[in-house]
Structure formats: C-alpha cells, structure tokens
Chain A
Amino acid sequence: MSESATPRVPASLRETPLCRWHAAHGGRMVDFAGWNMPVQYTSIVDEHLAARAAVGLFDVSHMGRLSVTGPGSLDWLESLLTRKVAGIAPGQFRYTLVTADAPGPVVILDDALVSRDTDAADGSPRMGLVVNAGNRERVVAWLRSRLPAAGVDLVDQTLATAMIAVQGPQAVELVATLCPPADGARIIALGTYRGTTASVAGRLAAVSRTGYTGEDGVEVTVAAADAVAVWEAILAAAAPLGGRACGLGARDTLRLEAGMPLYGHELLPHTDPFAIGLGLAVNLEGRSFPGSGALAIMKAATPERVRIGLDLGSKRSAREGNLVFTSGGDGREVGVVTSGSFAPTIGHAVAMALVDRDRAAEGGMLDIAIRDARQPARVVGLPFFKRSPAGGGKPPAA
C-alpha cells in the first residue's frame, strides 16, 4: 500500500457553502478541480446503491453557474453554443458543448447545460449555463472575450450560490414534500430537462429535473447562505427512506453505469463528439458558431475510433489509460479505456473505451491490459444501467 492512504488536502482549496458540513459529518475530503470536496462519507458502494434504491444527495456547488442576462443574451449564446439556443422554451434546459475558435481542429472547452428563464420585470430572457468545475475559469474567460459592447451581462454566480443534486427514484417526490403544495405540484409535473422556481424548505430555490446519475431527480440551486438549511432539510426527509449524503466517488460510478461522458475522460479538447455519441449535442443546421466548420468536417468523416462499453465480468477493474487489444491471436492494440470501475449496481467491473471502429460491434471480445494481466471484456451497448421507466420522463441522452 502507499504510505499515505488518504491524500492530504492543500490549504488553498475552494470551499462550497457545504464544505464544513461535509467535514463535520465524516466526509473524506479531497482536492477535486481545486475544490475541497467529499469523495465519500462511509462507502462509495453504499452511497451509490442508496441513490439507485431511494435517494442520494450530492453537493455539486463546485460546478460553475453562470447567468447571462440582458436583451441580447439569447442571440449571443445562439452564436456561441453547439446547440440551438433560440428554440429553448422558458424553463427548459439543453445539453450543449462550449467550443472555441482555433486554427485546425475544434477546441471543446467544456460540456454544459444551457437554460432559459424569463425576467419577471421586463420579460427579457435570463439565460443560465452550468459548466464543469475544472473548466469554469477558462469558459468564463472565453465568454467574456466574446461579449458584445452592450446588451449582455455575464455574471459568475458560482460562489454566491449552492447546488444540491437530489437523485434517485424517490428524489422528486421527496423534494416536493418540502415545498408548499402548489410548488410541490409544479416540481412533480416537471418534464425531464425542465425547471421552475419553488420554495424548498422555506428557501427560494431554482429546481430542475436534471442530473448526472442515470436516475430521476432534481438539482436544487439556492443562495449560499441557505445551503446548509436546505441540505439538512432534504437529508432529514431522505433518511427514513434509506437516502443518504453521497460523495463524488458515487457520483462517478453512477454516471459510469449510466454511460455518461465526463469532460477530461471521454471528452477532451479535440474529441470528435460524433465518435463518442454526442452528435445530438451539435446542431449544425443553418448555424455558425466557433468551431462549426471543423465540426461539420468531423460529422462528414468516418471516425477512426468510437466510444464503446466494455463488460469485464470481473471484480478487477480497468482504469483510464489501460490499453485495449484484440482478443487472443495477434493481440493488436485497438483502443484505450477512458473510464472504468467496479459498478455497484451491476456487481462487477465495467469500462468505457475508445476503440477502432471495426472492433466496436456489440458482442465482440477484446482484451484490456490491466497492470501485468490481460482481462477479457465483452463489447456491450451503453448505458450499462438504465432505470425502469416508473419515474417521470425519460433519461437524457447525456
């Protein structure tokens, strides 16, 4: 074993409004993208299974929350994002990529959720972006560099707010019970990727039917000062159902089972989004945005490598960077693992990988080099786990 079983947390990390709560409640704090975050409280497996069976609470306040307001905000984002922004209805969220101009290949700065709301006073669009913690500063810098002289205000709300993901088959109803009846009814009626405002545990909140676990659920955004009260109210209501606070470890295994790409792993600055199943995040029809020309070339081409699922059937896991080879025979290198772990719901290890197109057919066998061993794995369709459709809406594509 390594000498230090747990990483030391540098003193200069950013803290979410819930950071002290996590540390005081057994959270194992680690440096995640410069934030002091809980990787787990008790057990990743127990936390993962709680989210699948009942409800899990995740502090996702480290993710970047940007507001884009002003009369020009909608058109400005329409000119910058890979998804069509003009068609977004008030209260709707869309998954998009944030791309930058560059000579040569497209540069994907991040994947993000873009949303639209309406200003109560003057009816102008109020747009929102949720971006990855590790990409927030460069996305903000990129967006600022493209701001017009007037008509658009970009404000980074990350530090002023907190975001709590409440995920699991009982999540939506649970949050609704903490609201006045009319607000609760609106939350239960929300379609997937739709949002509303509500009073949650007596605090003003933005509630969206979004998440990153493959479960039904909501994400609740509140003022930083309200974070602990809302978190504790949701957790207290969740506990009798078997719900629990979950760390980033469970969030990662949940999204892996759900086959969701993660920036920095499946999705890199020069990734071909069409090769990893994110074609739906790129709308090129009659549109022009930074990198749209390069993306059009990618879309027309046949990718060399594509994203697949691998079922190892073993307890031993493949990890990011493990090379993938043809099965037996010549053992030619044909790909690389982008994410892999023991999958608690499935009971053995699974992985996502980029492999040569001619090796991507479901049912085929490949070998993964894990340390000094070759682990056979079967090519399977994604996601590895799909929830039963008993909950509202259908799971998002990504």
Chain B
Amino acid sequence: MQKDVRFAKSHEWIAPGEGGVATVGISAYAVEALTDLVFMQLPTVGRKVKAGESIGEIESVKAVSDLYAPVSGEIVEVNTSLPDHLETLGKDPFGAGWIVKLRVDDPAELASLLDRAAYDALIGSQPH
C-alpha cells in the first residue's frame, strides 16, 4: 500500500496517482467484514460524482452495501474484471482489487480523509 493512501469512514481507500487520477477500492477490513461476496455493480466511465455519492454496490449473501466516492471527481476507469472475480478483493484489496480510477476535482479534498493511522484506530474500535 502506498504511503499517502487515504480512507473514508465508509471503508473506501483512495490512492493519489499520476495526472490527478486516484485509485479507489475498499479496505481489507471491509472485505473481511462483508464476506461471501457474490455481486458487484460498477459505475459507468465518464460519470461525474460528488464525494459521498454512491458509485456502485457490493453484495454479500447477507446484504447489499453501497460503494461511495471518497472525493468528488470523474470516473475515468473501472476494474471490469472484478465483478467476475470478486475473490480478488479478498486476496489483494489494495492492489489487483482496485475498483475505480477517479480524476479528482480538488486534491485538497483528500486531506479531509483519514490517514492510515486514523483509519486503523477507527477499525480497531469496531467489533469484529
């Protein structure tokens, strides 16, 4: 995991990259908490999203969860192989299990998210 990765309280991670395009996924904690993933819906490329807006859904045997955009921006790429290989989310949630790439509107928005230590503290306080 790269050092400047940030986390939303809703368990998405976002890693800044070249040209203002950031990669978004969900944390290992979230994958482990969901378990039994069976279905995922990805957003369409080109969609403009606001921070906190639902950009897709991930469904386990028990329940459906929304995926939220951690910051505002435009969806520039989606991991199309992921819905047919949801096991990748468990094996490599911060790498091959990436979900979307987002051209970030305002890089300063990332600073409002949790850093690694703050996120670890958050999940440490949640029941497993």
Given contacts A44-B62, A341-B61, A349-B38, 13 further A-B contacts (CB under 8 A): A1-B12, A1-B58, A6-B33, A6-B127, A40-B35, A43-B36, A44-B36, A316-B59, A317-B39, A317-B64, A341-B62, A342-B38, A371-B64
Q: How large is the interface on B (under 10, 10 to 19, 20 to 34, 35 or more residues)?
A: 20 to 34
CB nearest neighbor in B for A315:
B39
Name which of B14-22, B43-51, B65-73 contacts chain A.
B65-73
Which residues of B pack against A, CB within 8 Å? 9-12, 26, 29-30, 33-36, 38-39, 41, 57-59, 61-62, 64-68, 126-128
Query: 8 Å CB contacts to B: which residues of A298-350?
Result: 314-317, 319, 341-342, 344, 349
Name the B residues within 8 Å of A344 (CB-CB): 61
Name the B residues within 8 Å of A9 (CB-CB): 127
Q: How large is the interface on A (under 10, 10 to 19, 20 to 34, 35 or more residues)?
A: 20 to 34
Which residues of A pack against B, CB within 8 Å? 1-6, 8-9, 28, 39-40, 42-45, 249, 253, 314-317, 319, 341-342, 344, 349, 371
Q: Are A4 and B38 in contact (CB under 8 A)?
A: no
Q: Are B38 and A1 in contact (CB under 8 A)?
A: no
Name the B residues within 8 Å of A371 (CB-CB): 57, 64
Q: Which of B11, B30, B35, B126 has the most A CB atoms < 10 Å from its CB?
A: B35
A-B contact list, 9 entries, CB within 8 Å: A1-B34, A1-B65, A5-B34, A44-B35, A315-B39, A319-B64, A341-B61, A342-B38, A349-B38
User: When chains A and B are docked, how far (Å) is the Cα of A371 from the Cα of B58?
Assistant: 12
Known contacts A1-B68, A317-B38, A317-B39; is-contact A44 B61 (Cβ 8 Å): yes
Q: Are A315 and B64 in contact (CB under 8 A)?
A: no
User: When chains A and B are docked, how far (Å) is the Cα of A297 from the Cα of B12?
Assistant: 55
Q: Which of B29, B39, B65 has the most A CB atoms < 10 Å from its CB?
A: B39
Q: Are B36 and A45 in contact (CB under 8 A)?
A: yes
Q: Are B126 and A6 in contact (CB under 8 A)?
A: yes
Known contacts A6-B33, A9-B127; is-contact A1 B11 (Cβ 8 Å): yes
Shortest C-beta distance, A52 to chain B (Å), equals 14
Q: Are A4 and B126 in contact (CB under 8 A)?
A: yes
User: When chains A and B are docked, how far (Å) is the Cα of A349 from the Cα of B38?
Assistant: 9
User: When chains A and B are docked, how far (Å) is the Cα of A368 from the Cα of B32?
Assistant: 29
CB nearest neighbor in A for B86:
A315
Q: Which of A5, A314, A371 has the most B CB atoms < 10 Å from its CB?
A: A5
Q: Which of B34, B38, B67 has the most A CB atoms < 10 Å from its CB?
A: B38
Partner of A5, one of B33, B39, B57: B33
Name the B residues within 8 Å of A8 (CB-CB): 127
Name the B residues within 8 Å of A316 (CB-CB): 39, 41, 59
Shortest C-beta distance, A279 to chain B (Å), equals 31
User: When chains A and B are docked, how far (Å) is the Cα of A344 from the Cα of B35?
Assistant: 13
